[in-house]
Structures are given as structure tokens and as C-alpha cells.
Structure 1
Amino acid sequence: MKLEVVVLPVTDVDRAKAFYQSLGWRQDADFTIHEGYRVVQFTPPESEASIIFGEGVTTAAPGSIQGLQLTVYDIEEARDALVAAGVAVSELFHDETGIFHQAGTKGRLPGPHPERADYSSFASFEDPDGNGWIIQEIKKRLPGR
């Protein structure tokens, strides 16, 4: 099994569509099946998993999805690209534990991990509804990944 799609709850489908287009993500679908049922799908560059949002695709509250994770090779380059696209992105941070990031902003220390350890440097942003994304830098994956 592999993760294929994450469904995002949004209030305004066209606003969400414009946001994800501005990130340079590939639009895979925009189908209006009938009134009240519309499916929009985007895939981040180099990803096998996609996101879907629209009308009638979830009962979750808009903005309730948190901790969606994107991995990048160079976090500074990825952050700069998001800022250039007009996205409000946090400053780079690492967690006080040196391992992963904690929920919300708890334990965040400024700047990338001091040793630039893989899996340890982050930035965050939200879509227009408040669905939360984390960017994580990984240059060399752990064995078996």
C-alpha cells in the first residue's frame, strides 16, 4: 500500500485552486460532477501523492488538516521559492529535541539544525483556509527508505 491522496477541507474551491497553482503544483483534475460535487486534484513536483479538495468531498472543517509534510533537498531554496510565489512562510527552524517538529510552534528554535542534520530543519506555511504544511530538509535518507 502507498499513500495516494490527502483530502483537504476548503471554503472556497477557486481560491484554493489559485493558491496551489501559484506553488507550481501540477493540476491533475477539476471535475464538476454535479451541483455541490466538484473534485480538484493537485500533485506537488516529484511527488507520487496528491491532494484533493472541492465541494462535497469531505465533511472536515476547513483548515483542520495540520502537519502535511513536504520533503525537499534544500530547505532554503524551497523557502525562497515559496516566498517568491507570495506565500507567507515561517522562518527556518529546528526542534529543541533535534528529532522531529512538535505540534504547533512548541519547541521551535530559530534557524536550520546547527549541523544541518537530515530530517531536522523545517519551515511551515498554511493554505488560505489554514491547512498547515511543514517543509522538511532531507539530503540523505535513512537506510531502507
Structure 2
Amino acid sequence: MKLEFIALPVADVERAKNFYQGLGWREDADVGEGDGRVVQLTPPRSNCSIMLGPSLTTAAPGSIQGLCLVVDDIEAARAELVGHGVDASEVFHDAAGGLPRANAQGRASGLAPDRKSYFSFVSFNDPDGNGWFLQEVTTRFPGRLW
């Protein structure tokens, strides 16, 4: 099995489409109209897409949190987001040495100690409030293909 897409709840499909395209995401599909409209967008170098559409999910717009995009240089990726007008957090790591938390409590400013792979993050939201993390991965855990 492979994860193919995530249905992302948004209030305005066109606004969300413009936001993600502004980040350089590829448009794979924009089909249908009204309640039947579906837009599929894929982040660069990703095999998983997001789908936007008024009838794809019953989740409230902005209710999805903790989506994660892997990058190989967290500082450059953050700068790119900011360059596209995104209100991105500063680079942070978990003060206890773990993975990111849903809220900002327990976050420590800056890169993870020794810039340890998997443990440096940036957070941002789309226009509806769906929450994303960037996660720096430079060396994969054993057994991971990519």
C-alpha cells in the first residue's frame, strides 16, 4: 500500500489552490464544478498529493494538523516559504529531544543539537488553518528507502 493523497478541508478551493501553487506545488487535476470540484496538487519531489474539494471530507476547514513535509535543508526551506509570503515559524526543535508537538509548549528555538536528522522543524498554516510541519531529514533511519 502507498499513501496517495490527503483530502484537505478548505473553505475556498480556489484560494487554497492559489496558496499551494504559490509554494510551487504541481497541479495534477482540476475537474468538476461546484460541489463536485476536485483539485489535486503535489509538493515538489513528493509521491503523495493533497486533494481539495467541497465534498471530499466532512472535516471542518482548517481542522487538519500535523501534516509533515520532509526537506533536506530546513533553513533554506523556511526562507523559501517566507519568500512566498507564508507566515512560517522560526526553526525549532523539541526541548525534550522528541518530535514536534501540536502546540508550541516544549519547543526550543533553533536547530536540533548537532543538527540531528529528523529533529529540526518549522511550522506554518494554510489560509484555512490546516497545520503543516517542515522536518529536516538528512540521513534516513535504517531500512527507509528515501
Structure 1 partner of 2:95:
96
Is residue 2:82 matched to residue 1:78? Answer: no
Tell me which moved more, 54-63 or 73-82: 54-63
**For the residues of structure 2 that align with 1:97 and 1:51, how far apart are their CA atoms?**
31
4+ residue runs over 3 A deviation = none
TM-score of the pair, normalised by structure 2: 0.96
Count matched residues. 144
Higher helix share: 2
One-letter code aligned to 1:136: Q
Per-residue Cα deviation, 1:16-43 (whole angstroms, up to 9, x for no partner): 01000100000101111x5311100000
- Give the match's secondary structure for 2:115: coil
Residues 99-108 or 47-56, more deviating: 99-108
What is the aligned-residue identity percentage? 59
Q: How does 1:1-145 map to 2 (within 5 A)?
A: 1-32=1-32, 34-145=33-144
| Gap runs ≥5 in structure 1 | none
1:11 counterpart letter in structure 2: A
Q: CA contact under 8 A between 2:35 and 2:53: conserved in structure 1?
A: no
Per-residue deviation, residues 70-111 of structure 1 (Å, max 9, x unmatched): 000000000000110111100000001212112221210001
Structure number having the greater strand percentage: 1
In structure 1, give the amino acid aligned to 2:6. V
Structure 2 gaps, min length 5 = none
Q: Distance in 2 between matches of 1:56 and 1:125?
A: 25
**Scaled by the length of structure 1, what TM-score is found?**
0.96
Question: CA–CA distance in 2 between the matches of 1:90 and 1:2?
Answer: 30
CA contact (8 A) 1:99 1:119 kept: no
The 3-state SS of whatever aligns with 1:79 is: helix
> What amino acid is aligned across from residue 109 of structure 2 in structure 1?
P
C-alpha distance in 1, partners of 2:101/2:57? 26
Partners in 2 of 1:104 and 1:54 — Cα distance?
27
